[in-house]
Amino acid sequence: MIALDEWQERARAWLAQAVPEFGLAARAGLTQDEDLEVGRRYMAAKYDVGFSGITLPPEFGGQGLSRLHKVLFDTLEMQVAMPVGYFGVSTAMPLPILIRYCEDKAWVRERVIAALRGEEIWCQLFSEPAAGSDLAGLRTRAEGGEQGWTVNGQKLWTTFAQYSDYGILVARSDPSVPKHKGLTFFWIDMKAPGVTVRPFRLANGDIQCNEVFFDDVAMADSQRLGPVGEGFSVAIATLMIERYAASDADGFGPPIEAFIETLRPLTINGRPALEDGRVRGVIARNHALRQGLDSIRRRALLAMEAGMEPGPEGSLNKLFSVRSRQKLSELALDLQGAGGLSYAEGAYTKADWATSWMGAPTMRLAGGADEMLLNTIAEKILGLPQDYRPDKGVPFNAIPV
């Protein structure tokens, strides 16, 4: 296995020569569709030089390297703002689940390579209008069995579904049992008859989230991933992956170093802002928090390297990194006074405080809202008793609506 230092230098050199063609400046002024096409070309170029599918098995088109190799590359890639956002869900969550559960390994290999090259995009069909962050409360129905399934219902907040070729879907297959027991996990063709995708605009102007409707969508039983009725366990495994993939210690906002640089020319009551005790306290607390989150994430990745499943510590990373990003972004805007009111639509989230602040509420919902993460931390990490749950053990179809 290639040494981490050598890997990092190789990645840094390749990204440096790729920036003129694929970096932020090269994509300035492009429409979202045009930017996506640049992203597809970048993904293909990245695959050709061996920086895609870093942790995936070689027999499925991956590199078979460690998660630390992936963390190093992803960090460098993020710093130069490559157009990978369209493919983040696609390559992080569905592919490991397909490899683990889908029986047609030749078909899986085709899908994995197509996704890594940016030729195909996958979405994650979990959230629903009525269920909120309670995944087990979903109402999309999958009726059938070994002879085939029919899906009806609606999903919401589905990232880049408008561009997706396939999706992973959890649906209710048995409403007569308690809500966690009656779910089944599938992959679905997003171009199948009966699938309708409706994009909508977020507060920051982005058009990446969608409503998805299913009207008598037919699926073969071979599209089932995992046993019937065990969909919640498969979904939780997916979410554990997401909570390590969907956040860095900066919450995908600007790093603390950028906050310091923003404040260098500013003053508070006629003195340099960086000499103000309150500002210095904020910097110290954020630095300590982010170092702690980096340590937790690194420890978890090493545990996964040893063959352990991703644990609940990912909830800590996502919860506190995004909260930190939101508060720090708000303070950066406040300290700039009138200058903080300017807003550049389409600016890079990790380099622009206004864009970071506008997008933070979305991140606090994606992959599990704060309240769900707090419950996970309380119960799974601290060992506290569960909240009172009147629907626990009750058949789903007997729960009052």
pLDDT the model gives residue 401: 80
Q: Is residue 397 part of a domain?
A: no
Q: Are residues 18 and 32 in the same domain?
A: yes
Q: Is residue 387 part of a domain?
A: no
Q: Per the structure block, which two tokens stand in for 280?
A: 């210095």
Q: Are residues 319 and 276 in the same domain?
A: yes
Residues 19-68: tens digit of each pLDDT: 999 999 999 989 999 999 999 999 999 999 999 999 999 999 999 998 88
Q: Is residue 395 part of a domain?
A: no
Domain assignment of residue 13, given as a range:
4-120
Which residue(s) pair with 200 in the sheet?
Answer: 209
Number of domains in the chain: 3
Spatial CA neighbour of 24 closest among 11, 12, 42:
42
Final residue belonging to a domain, choices 234, 262, 296: 234
Q: Are residues 195 and 280 in the same domain?
A: no
pLDDT the model gives residue 241: 62
Residue 316, phi-psi category: left (phi > 0), alpha (psi -120 to 50), beta (remainder): alpha
Final residue belonging to a domain, choices 92, 120, 148: 120
Q: What is the CATH number of the domain that holds 352?
A: 1.20.140.10
pLDDT the model gives residue 246: 45
Residues 114-141: tens digit of each pLDDT: 999 999 999 999 999 988 678 899 999 9
pLDDT the model gives residue 245: 52
Q: Are residues 72 and 199 in the same domain?
A: no
Q: Are residues 211 and 259 in the same domain?
A: no
pLDDT the model gives residue 259: 96
- The answer for residues whose C-beta is within 8 angstroms of residue 390's C-beta and 6 or more apart is none
Q: What is the CATH number of the domain that holds 17?
A: 1.10.540.10
Final residue belonging to a domain, choices 62, 88, 120: 120
Q: Is residue 400 part of a domain?
A: no
Q: Are residues 182 and 277 in the same domain?
A: no
Q: What is the CATH number of the domain that holds 213?
A: 2.40.110.10
Q: Is residue 217 part of a domain?
A: yes
pTM for the model stands at: 0.88
Q: Per the structure block, which two tokens stand in for 171?
A: 């649906």
Q: What pLDDT tens digit does each residue of the chain (401 aa) get?
A: 899 899 999 999 999 999 999 999 999 989 999 999 999 999 999 999 999 999 999 999 999 998 889 888 998 998 899 999 999 999 988 999 999 999 999 999 999 999 999 999 999 999 999 886 788 999 999 999 889 999 999 999 999 999 999 999 999 999 999 999 999 999 999 999 999 999 999 887 889 999 999 999 999 999 999 999 999 999 887 766 655 554 578 888 999 999 999 999 999 999 999 999 999 999 999 999 999 998 888 887 777 667 676 677 778 888 999 999 999 999 999 999 998 888 888 788 888 999 999 999 988 887 778 888 899 899 989 999 988 888 889 999 999 88
Q: Are residues 73 and 189 in the same domain?
A: no
Spatial CA neighbour of 135 closest among 235, 65, 60:
235
Rounded distance between C-alpha atoms, residue 93 and residue 121, angstroms: 12
Q: Is residue 84 part of a domain?
A: yes
Q: Is residue 241 part of a domain?
A: no
Q: Which amino acid is at 301?
A: L
pLDDT the model gives residue 247: 54
Q: Is residue 170 part of a domain?
A: yes
